[in-house]
Structures are given as structure tokens and as C-alpha cells.
Structure 1
Amino acid sequence: MEQKRLCPYCMGELPPAADSCVHCGKVFAGRNPAGCLPVGTVLAGRYTVGEMRSLDGEGILYRGVENLGCFRVTIKEYLPVTLSAERGADCILQPKTGSEVLFKTTRMDFADLYRALERITPATGLEAVLDVVEANNTVYAVMENLGGTPLDQWLEAQGAPLRPDNACAMLQPVFEGVAAMHKIGLVHRGICPENLRVMADGRCRLAGYATVGLRTAGSGLREQLYEGYSAPEQYSTAEFEGRYTDEYGLAAVFYRMVCGQAPVPAAQRMVSDSNPRARTVNSAVPGYVSDVLQMGLRLKPMERIQTVPQLVQALASKEYTEELGRTMKPETPVGQPEEKAHLLSIKGLLAGILILLAILLVLMVWTMVSHSLPSASSGSVEPEPASSEVLEPQNLVPSFIGMDYAQVQNNREYTGMYLFYVTEEYSNTVPAGQIMTQEPAADTVLKAGETIRLVVSKGPQKVEMPSIIGFSQDAAVQTLQSRGLIASCFMVVNDGSYAAGCVVSASEPAGAQVDVGTVITVYIAADPSVEITTPPEEPAATEPTTTPADPETPAGGGDPAADPEQGTK
């Protein structure tokens, strides 16, 4: 039986083996450059390849059509230019001699990446991966045709910088999508205005997925880094990348949106950090937002804001930003490694001690000379009467920050010498029971009877998981957001038992106590006519506390739950 094939231009059905379209008249031959798949090629009996859109060091992006559902798609072919030999007329891709092992391992990385994305998309803010096809000795990722306007073009058309609250609203779906990627161990590494699309509703979605090799200098692939948006650790294979790498990209995009210009490229900043603060570029940026971006764009990964929820909460709360600034590791100046800074601090201490000894020596000599001089009135030295004043020893305040409060309570030396006033505050950055701040500061002279004020962390703030079963997707997302939770939505199979577009299950049961900022996986019933074939895996970091019920359970028999081994294309 002949496979159904559509014209990639007009989507009209083509006769078997046609090399041009009988509907629009387009001729397929010669449309794509040599080395690309010819226009009209069919993959997996389901997708017709169209014209090449772009090429990077990892592969080729084509326009395409899904023949069965008659809708447009984007197809990315794994074709690393540094590892691939010339392709013949049979379209089979072969590695260069000597590159066979690296070709195979990076091809596996490509397939694993897009299969993982296929399991979590469609998720809010992410371009959906619909299918992964192996053919021609390579791999093809089939994605939705996202549409929209690239953010860099949209910002150029705007002209003026955005207000921070408007930028937050536009990027909110992207924050949620990146957080969902991080929960299953994926890092995007290419977050920049070029890979963000502004949709018709004014909100952004993220595309431009790639393996670690494409987004890391010196990996063996022809790297694709984005000046101003790629993090410092991406410029060397010796540096480890993690969630904080995407956090740098998000902070850089936000900086561009509110300042009207991109940050200074990281490679340049590592030589001499001349990147201006956001408030210096645009005085309308609130001081705390400028501080957040400063912390998000730090060059050393361990000194940077670490997670997307931290970044989002800091951009929304001046108080949280101040707490984060108090608890984060201080930034090391560029060109002065931590070891060098530590050595300089020791040298400074030794210099101070030597100066103090010199002053004491001068004072001793002066005292001896003054006592040996004759009195101006009697010609002899009269001893001065001894002072009756007794100097009390000065008591310096110790440093309590970072200690467990239980250590202070159980230390008789502390409790016998000092009076404490203790308060507690929630913190997503400091473990429960640990001291966050103190007043007076360490090494301050403590006056008699003065109290030391300590603020002890209560750990992350907990909220009660609301009951959202039966809610529409928008209502569920808004309800979770109102409690400081992040929704990551998945479509699941629906045999008609559930109302289409409504929540059938969530990764946390109603009434459970969860941390503010937690990503909640929300399962939405698809339209019964939608074919669902791809089984998504539940993100490891968001395990349900109870086993979801069978999707066939009738409504009213407890909370209905969608099988997490089902997903949609």
C-alpha cells in the first residue's frame, strides 16, 4: 500500500512518486542544498520533508508536514558537520574515518535528549517534541511548528526597554518550562532571545534544544554559543554545567528586556568584568531587580543564583532578594581567584599586626624617655598618682552566622556570657535551624547588658496543595500560582470519561504540605479524538506521594488520576 504523502508547500495530497505538486506546481528537485534530504522525502511513512530552514554544528532544521493529521511540523536531523562524511544519493549518513565512536555517542546523546523532551512536552513554555525517528543511520526529532516572533526581533520592534513586571509576565511560561526540564535532569544551555518566541498572547515559549556538545566550546562539534547569553562555564569543556547555566541565560535575557542591551559576553567578562549593573543602564529598573540580575550573572557558578524558582521569587520579592543576598556566597572579584584572595587577606592581617607592634614599641620608648626627663619646676621627676579607674575588658561579638542554633543553645560559654533575642523566618536558601543573620555584627564591641539578636531559618515555606481535580488548565495554573507553586502541564489519554481540557491528576495529593516554588505536574485530559501514543515519565524530583488511580476509574470514585505512563504528541 502506497504511503500518503503531502506537498510540503500547499499540503495537497501527492500522487505516488511525484517530483512536483499537481496543486501548487512546485518542483521539488534542487530545492535543498547538497548533503540535505531532498524535498519530498518521507520519514517513518508519516512525515514529508520540506525545505531546509537552518544549519548548525549539530544538524539541519527542515520544514515539514505530518501526513496523517495534515499539519505542519519542524524536523531536526542529527548531522554533525565535523564528524560526518559526504552523503550519497541513498541519503544514508556515514561518519568520517576516525570519527566513528564520537559520531555514535553524540548521536545517542541527540536521541536521548529529544526522547526525554518528548516525554515532558507539551509543557507550558516549551516547544513540543512530537516524535523521534531513526532512519538513514541517523536520528530525526519531529517538533511542532511553533510560529510566533523571535524575541530579539520583537524587542527591536519595541524600541524601548520593558518594565520588569511585564518582562516577568512574558517569561513566566519559559520559567516554568525550564524548571520542568531541570526536574528530569535536562539543561537547555541555549536560552537567548533568538531561541525564544513571542506568541500571539504576548507570552514567550522556548525552542532551540541541543546536546551539550553543541553548546560547549572544544567538545568536538562546531559549537554554537550566544554572545552575552552563554554562561562562562560553557566556554571550556573542563567546567561542569548545571541548572545554574540556564539560570545565567534567563538572567541575561531578562537584563536585555529591561535594559535594552545584552550583557557583556562572558568570555570578555572573565578577562575584565565591565558589565554595568541594570540600574546603571536604565535608572527605571528597581534597585532590588538590579541586585537580582547582578547575582544571576555572576561569573562563578557556585556564587550565582542556583535555580529558576530562586530567580523567579527574587524578581517578585524585594524581601526575598535581600535574604538571598545575605545568605549567598560573596562574589570573588574577576582576576582574583579565591586562593589568591585568601592569601591577600592573610598578608593584610600580618601587615596590620606589624603596624600595631611598631606603634606599641614607639609608645614604650616615648614613655621611657618622658619619665627620664627632669621636671621643669623642681628639676626632679615627680611620680604621677596611680589612677583609680579600672578598665573593663572589651567583649567582642562572635560570628554566629551559619551555625546551628542548637549549638549556641547547648554551649554554656555562650549562654553564660551573652543574652540572645531569637526570631525565625522562612528561607529557601538556608537549612532549618541555621542562623541567617545577627545583630550586632561579628567583632563588634558588645556593651554591658546588650542583647544579640539572631534570626534562625525555619527552612522553606510550606503551603497546602489545593484540590484542582476537575479544574480547567488555566484555573489550575492560576490556583497553584496563587500559592507560590509552579504548574507543569501534560496532556493524557481520554477515552471520554473526563471533560476535555480539565485536570484529572496531579503529582501531589490535595492537602499535602509542599515547599513554595515546587513544580507540580498537572495531567490534563486530552480531547477524546486526539491520538496519544507516547508514554511520558514522571519527573524524578516530583514523585507522587500516592499511586495514581487507573484512568478508567469513574469520576466520583476518589480523585481520578491519569496514568503517568501516557503522554500526547
Structure 2
Amino acid sequence: MEGQRLGGRYQIESRVGGGGMAIVYKAKDLILNRPVAVKVLRSQFGTDEDFVNRFRREAQAVASLSHPNVVGVYDVGQEGDTHYMVMEYIEGYTLKEVIIQRGALPVEEAVRIAEQICDALDHAHQNQIIHRDIKPHNIMIGKNGRVKVTDFGIARAVTSATITHTNAMLGSVHYFSPEQARGGITGEKSDIYSLGIVLYEMVTGELPFSGDSPISVALKHLQEPLPEPRQVNPAIPQSVENVILKALVKDPFLRYASASEMLEDLETCLFPERLNEEKLTFPVDEEMTRVVPIITPDMLEGHTNGKTGGAGRSRYEQRTEEEGAKPAKKQWWVKALLWVGGIGLFFVLAFFGFNLLLNLFPSVPEARVPHVVGIDVSLAEKKIQENKLVARIVEEADDTIEKGIVIRQDPAPPMGLKENSVVTLYVSKGQQEINMPNLVTLPRATAEEALKSNGFQLENVNFVEEADDKAEVGTVIKQSPAANEKVFPTKTNVTVTISKGKAFVKMPDVRNISVEAAQVELYKLGLGVGKITKVPTYTTDKPGIVLSTHPYDPGMDVQKDVAVPLEVSNGQYPQDAKLANVPVYVEVVPGEPLEVKIEVTDARGEAKVFQTDTITENKEYDVPIVLAPQKDSVVKVFVKRSTDQGFNEYQTIPVSYNSLP
């Protein structure tokens, strides 16, 4: 079916699993743009009208369930001869796959999984829905560890006839309750028994009863005592074994009264004070162990060649083999007459009894259930009453639906009910205030998950970054609203401030100033002083002058608290430096003042002004220079007369390193 579109909106992508009655595909809901799981009935069941009708009714009922441990049912439909159910898509594995891969699970993990299954069953039972097919194949373990129970709709639709499909039912019959195997009425306690088998398999890695055919397994559920879990796995605490024993007692009246009672026991069974409690024991009912299930002749005929062949013969034949049959003392026609008379008397009494009941309890007419989802509760109640039904109101918080509007109803149309039956209306209380979660110190990803799990939409959350000298990069340092403040998740604007780590500052230029002055400038910006190295230099003969801050060059972004290393002068020139004085003579025209500027380019730097002066008579200057092997010197003299607009070059005196001794 890959590539096929069902219902005009579900695009089948790939097959992800299958069972005896259906095949499961991953699909895409083209309208809501989300992945879904589509369960398609196999063709042999799609032609069974009774099966399909029951399947549809139960799917509609299960769609009303809303529980974190129940796989949601979104839709049910038909495309030609193809009947399908659309459900929530779970990324993960079935519990059966987990047990096959890992064997017996740790007791703590098994109990945690059982608690979630039990919680789901309790919710379903409170909504008058019995699963009837609890087994590891129908339990999904999501990649996030969440447990999801699926196949509610399929379970209810299964009829007793499906037991003839041996391959389909061999998996399920291992988890049947005795009353299911007997063909009797199943209820909440059947689900509890099946959950007990699942818990048994999780903690031991194996099933308590197995056989070559469904009938042989069913007989073992009815007749054989339970192999005790601690005999298979001695590491199981007695308290956990007690939970299993109470769930798997053959008499339904001795089992847990409800899934909620079993859940309470599971939640406390690993408490230290319970681990070594006394072992549970139950009275043995010999009659119950001899009860034979209702099995069709075809099943028995096909079963006589199996390992439990003796069960295929009548109880009369077995008894005559063991005790020896004795000839009947009465003639056969006497027995036949007695049987006919007894049966006739039974039908006469049944006829009169039935008429008496009809007179005592007249039939109640049916009423149609109206559709009231999405309207105000007062109008919904009125519609229910107009249809001669009784409305029961259950309020629920809802982030998206206005207060007082019906969210869903149970049952939903087009179902019919007896007059004065109850229709449950789930009505929105509007969005509920919650305490704002504390996000400070959480990594950003964890903070986002905390917000989503509390109902916040991330598009309404403003994440900003801010430098912080103490908080680790990427963690939350501030939030608004504050923790524990009352908020509405979908209405409140949230601002989350994320740490960028320590702040950065621009590295100042502290070259050519004293060490003390450099320290002051660095401290002002939150920077420290690292190692101070004294070296000779061509640039100055003054000690303690900062030469370099490498590797933190001026203008670079530097994180606060960084210790900046300083390279400073030691007051000496390098040994290969040559020092000299260059004489400069400037002549003046009498009566005309002259401004003089002398620039020196040498190993100390480029075009440094040596002196400026105003003279009225001739003057000679001694200009000191410093030369290096790779740096000669040039002395330039500039003059400016009163009539000049600016300085004019007066004299240039080059001095090479090699010209000096």
C-alpha cells in the first residue's frame, strides 16, 4: 500500500509492523502535516460485517480516551474494501521487541513500565472500555521512555470465532485470562490478569504457560498452577512476586478489585519495608482446576494429535477409562423419555418466566445522542435533555478551548441509548494558572523542554544572550516571569536570558607608558597583569616602559579577568646598537626670527620630533641618534619664517650604521 492515499488525507509511506488481524503503516496526515500510524484490517476480517461494525463502534469509543499512556485514535474510515484506523505515531519499539533483545528486565524498570500500563487501564476502565488483548506486542516504548498502550479498538472487535485463526491467536492466548480461555464474560479483571502475565514475562524473560497450539495453552491457564516467578529469577523481591501472584490467581474474585488497586500496590512494592514481606497464598479450589473451557468440536478434533490429547475426549470417556464403565441399569428409552420431559418442562417454565419479566420490566425506548461538541455547556445540556437523556458534566482544563465550551462527549453520535441514559460532557475550564518553572542554572535545551512540558509554546518565548562572569556559557541566568509566579502557559510572554560567559572588552594600547600607568588602565577594564618581562630595546633607554602586550594586541576583544603579559624596557639598548650625536647648524637672517623643528628617524622610531625652537640668531644643535644593524638614521631640519605659511625643509642629514665606528 506504500504510496496510496486513504481518506484523501493519509499518505501511506512505509510498513512498520503487523499482526494477525491488521497491518500497521507509517503515514503522513496531509491536512495537519504530522506523522500518523494507520492500521489496516486484513482482507479476511474486512469482509466480516459484524467484525467491522464492532471495530468501528469501539474505535469511536476509544477515541474519547485522553491519557498520556494510551495511543490516541484520531480517525476511522473505509476506502473501498479497505477498513482502517488512524492513530498517534510512536517512535520506538514494542515491549515484546525489548524483551526479545534484552531478556529479563531489571525489576525497577519492569515495575515502572507496569505502573504506566496499569494507569492506562484504570483510565480505560473508568470509561467503561475493556482492552481484552493486553500483551507486550500492544505496548509501545517510545524513545523518550514513555509507555503507550495500543490496540484498544482491535481488542474489542475480536469475536470468539477468531480463536480458529491459530497463527493470529497463538500470541494472544499466552496472555488470556482463565475466563477468556473458558469463553466466558470478560471484564476489568481479565485485563488485570493479562497485565500480570506481561509483568511475569518482564521480570523472568519467559512466559508462565506455553504449548504447541492455542488450545493447549488455554487449558494450562485453566488447569495448571502458576510457576512461581522467584523460582525462575530468585532476584525478584517477594513484594513484586506477590503483585504477580495476586494478578494471576485463577479465581477473578481473588484478584485485584480494580486496576487502581493494582497500581497502588505497584507504586509501593519496591519500598524497602516491603521487599521481604510474607508470600501471598490463596485457597485452592479443586473444582476450578477441573473446569474445561467451552471448545468447539472442530477445535477438539484438531487438538487430539497435540501434546494434551487427553483433553479432546469427553469427560465420560476419561472417567470410564480410569474407573471402568459399568453397564447402565435402566433401558435407553427410559433415559430418553426423562430427558425429553425435563427439556420440555424447562422451556415451558422459561416461556412463562420471560413473559413475567416483560410485564414487570417494560422495554425502554431508545434515544439518539445529539452532537454537542464545540457549543456552550448550557445549550449542550438543553439538547441532551430534549433528546430524553441525562447530561453529566466533567470539567477539564484546556489551553486552547474557551471556558464553558464542550471539548468532547461520551458517547458520541450516531450512537443510540436508552432514554434517561447518561451522556458525559467534558467541558473546558479554560486555561489553568500554573507556577512558573524555575529555569535558572538549566542549560538552554533543558529549559526549552521544561517550558514545552508545562504547555508553553517556544515561539512565544524570547531567548536573549548576556555576558556573565560566573555562569557557564549556554545556561540560564535570568527569567521573566520569576520562578513560582502564577502564569498562563499559552498567554504569558516569557523572557529567558542565556549566559554568553564572561564579558569581552577592547584591549587598550598601553605601549610606551610606564608599567604602573599600564596596570591602572588594565584594571579599569577588568583585566589583570600577567608576567612582566624586562628586555633591552632600541626604542628607549628609560627602564619600565611598556613595549608590548602580545598576544593581546591593542583593539582586540579580550575576555574579562584575562591576565595580560607585559614586555617592558630594562633601561639598556641592545649590544649591537650604535649611539652618536649629529651636529645641526641653522643660520638666521638678522632681524628676522626663525622657527626651527628637528625630526629624527632612527632605531627608536619614525620621524620623532627631537626639538622645536624659535631663534633670532645662528644656532648649533647636537642631535643624539640610535642606530641598529638594520636601521640607519635620518635627521631632518625644518624652518618657518614669519612670511611662510608653513615649515619648509631646511636640511636633511643621513647617517648609516656602517659609517660609525
The structure with more strand, counted as a fraction of residues: 2
TM-score by length of 1: 0.47
- Higher relative contact order structure (alpha carbons within 8 Å, sequence separation ≥ 6): 1
TM-score by length of 2: 0.41
Which protein is bigger by CA-based radius of gyration?
2
